[in-house]
């Protein structure tokens, strides 16, 4: 279902980004590049950045290795990278191959595929 998009022209604290309201609920920024996205993370002192399947899958199709390069660049800046949604084992394995730090899943599959949590006593 498509939602109406309305550009916000007078957003306070815009951080130099273009903002839009998407439907009645979402207010999101638009980024002109991955560098701007990561730079905004630095400017706002975030610790985690995220990427969705709608971002990573097309990027990998257009330029194989670009998803892992993004994750590596984010790691080099001190960010953790979370990915979502993993709805199948193939999605989970795709995200894991990119080197992300966490994978969101809305199905029990994630519990089965997550790596073993290390025992701190060892």
Q: Is the pLDDT of residue 19 over 70?
A: yes
pTM of the model: 0.75
The Cα-based distances of 82 to 22, 55, 74, 120 in angstroms read 23, 12, 11, 23
CA angle 45, 118, 114 (to 5 degrees): 75
- pLDDT tens readout for residues 49-107: 999 998 899 999 999 999 999 999 999 999 999 999 898 889 989 999 999 999 988 77
Rounded average pLDDT over 19-38: 80
**DSSP code for 104:** -
CA triple 73-77-83, angle to 5 deg: 60
pLDDT digits (tens, 9 = 90+) for 103-122: 988 777 766 767 666 666 65
């Amino acid at each position: 279902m498509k939602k109406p998009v309305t550009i916000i022209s007078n957003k306070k604290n815009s951080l130099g980004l273009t903002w839009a309201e998407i439907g009645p609920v979402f207010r999101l920024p638009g980024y002109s590049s991955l560098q701007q996205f990561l730079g905004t993370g630095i400017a706002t002192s975030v610790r985690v950045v995220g990427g969705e399947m709608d971002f990573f899958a097309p990027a990998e199709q257009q330029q194989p290795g670009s998803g892992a390069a993004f994750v590596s660049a984010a790691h080099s800046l001190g960010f953790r990278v979370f990915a979502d949604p993993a709805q199948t084992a193939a999605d989970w394995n795709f995200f894991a191959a990119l080197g992300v730090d966490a994978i969101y899943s809305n199905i029990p599959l994630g519990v089965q595929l997550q790596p073993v949590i290390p025992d701190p006593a060892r």
